[in-house]
């Protein structure tokens, strides 16, 4: 019975997942984490530099955080 509580909670508060991912992307872009921003060895590494990837992940993190908080405010 305890195992059924987690999926129910997840269905009820699903907007917290994009919030967590947005915070992770935002921190990764600010702190310049290698696993997130390093373009070497990727198939499209010539298209975006490390700085461009940091900017993209920063903006994506902001969008995810704002949309998740917006959804949280709408459910109140």
Q: Give the DSSP per-residue string, the chain.
A: -GGGHHHHHHHHTTTHHHHHHHHHHHHHHHHT-HHHH--TTSTTTTTS-HHHHHHHHHHHHHHHHHHHHHHHHHT-
- Does this model's pTM top 0.85? My answer is no
pLDDT, tens only, 17-75: 899 999 999 999 999 888 887 767 767 667 778 888 899 999 999 999 999 988 888 87
Amino acid 10: pLDDT: 76
Q: What is the distance between the alpha carbons of residues 14 and 31, in angstroms, rounded to a whole number?
A: 27
The whole-number pLDDT of residue 34 equals: 85
């Amino acid at each position: 019975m305890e195992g059924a509580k987690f999926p129910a909670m997840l269905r009820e508060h699903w907007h917290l997942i994009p919030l967590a991912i947005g915070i992770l992307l935002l921190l990764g872009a600010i702190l310049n984490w290698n696993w997130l921003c390093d373009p070497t060895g990727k198939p499209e590494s010539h298209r975006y530099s490390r700085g461009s990837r940091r900017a993209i992940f920063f903006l994506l993190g902001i969008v995810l955080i704002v949309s998740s908080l917006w959804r949280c405010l709408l459910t109140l």
